[in-house]
Amino acid sequence: MNTLRCEEPSWLVENLNKQTDSILVLDLRTREDFLTGHVRTSVNLPCQNSGEMERGTSVEQLLCPGSTAEERGRLAARGHSESIVLYDQDSTEERKGEALMAVADMLVAEKCRHVCFLNGGFTSILRSHKDIVSPAKKAKRGPRGPPPPLSLPGSKPGNSEEEAKKTADPDKEQVKQGQLSEVLPGVFLGDWTSAKSRDAMIKFGITDVFNVTSDLPNTFETDEELNITYDRYAAEDVASGSLTPHFERAFYSIDQILSRKGCVLVHCLAGKSRSPTIVLAYIMRTKKWGFDKAYDFVKERRRNIEPNMGFLSQLMKFEADMVSDGILLERQRSDADTGSSTVSKSTNNSVPTSSHETSAESPCPKTQATQS
């Protein structure tokens, strides 16, 4: 197929609200991603790699073994659908995924009507139309009861966030291997050692784990007692690695976890580069902070963060996109001093500089980011 019609998310929303039964929506992401969240009524065909589809493969064969009877029924009735909408994570009109095109070819060969794909994929839905997203299928909670309260380093139980910052002495607190850092209530940063510590999972009441690596195993995925839900955000810790495509999915998932009073551990290998990038982006979006302010906030809570140059550039681009989208009115500097001097952070990776005006919101104290 040389051309495939591209529809905007607003078109899908309008038609789902009018005639749900006449539209078949096919989600081509992995089953793991699908269970984290998907367009309501969609059917999951986890076929990320078109090279894995053998010649003569039928659409039914793309269903995963865990598909529901409802999914199988919807797919079987596809010939009666007025429209079939395909989506993956982020395909656009200029850049379509190979698997998406392969499935579209199969449907067109079956003479299905109005086969199209969603511009921007599931990422675009999360940005502007969360009302048509079905939340995670499994809202897991361990049998151990609510997690114990955790104070910030140097604070006493019951202290406010501001009081905790005053009593802590971050210069004396080096991040040890296997240490978890709570950067927001219910949101923890850690490394591989902490992620495979059963005691840590129990102590901090971890209900969900984001594995921000391509190869490290999900240690307790089959542990029924811990009952932890895993979500992988595959990325390599190299300057050419890309985490931006994962941002929207991570934001949505963290919001879902916190809404059900869960606790999420975001980890990579060392807990310095990949996992902090995900958490930094989440804080920037939820608190509507610029990069500098979010960086200082996380650095105060986990001294060894050190995103590589590629991830730093992606965070700066994310800040610029927030300004363009009207989420940030301007690029605000994070220190309380007046003036418009350039703010520069120095790490081994030479963090990009950015000029900000003083935020109207009470800012975090300015500290120079140095390697721990």
Catalytic residues: 268
Which helix H or strand E contains 259, and what residues bound it?
Answer: helix 247-259
HEC readout, 109-142 = HCCCCCEEEECCHHHHHHHHCHHHEECCCCCCCC
Q: How many CB atoms lie within 10 A of CB 286?
A: 15
Residues 6+ apart with CB under 8 A from 194: 178, 179, 180, 200, 265, 267, 271
Three-class secondary structure of residue 174 per DSSP: coil
> Angle formed by the axes of helices 247-259 and 121-128, to 10°?
50
Neighbours of 13 (CB within 10 A): 16
H or E segment and range at residue 267: strand 264-267
Q: How many CA atoms lie within 13 Å of 372's alpha carbon, on the beta-carbon side?
A: 20
φ, ψ for residue 138, nearest 5 deg: -115, 120
Task: Single out the residue of 296, 305, 300, 279 nearest to residue 356, CA to CA.
Answer: 296
Distance of CA 304 to the CA centre of its chain: 22
Encoded amino acid at 56, one letter: G
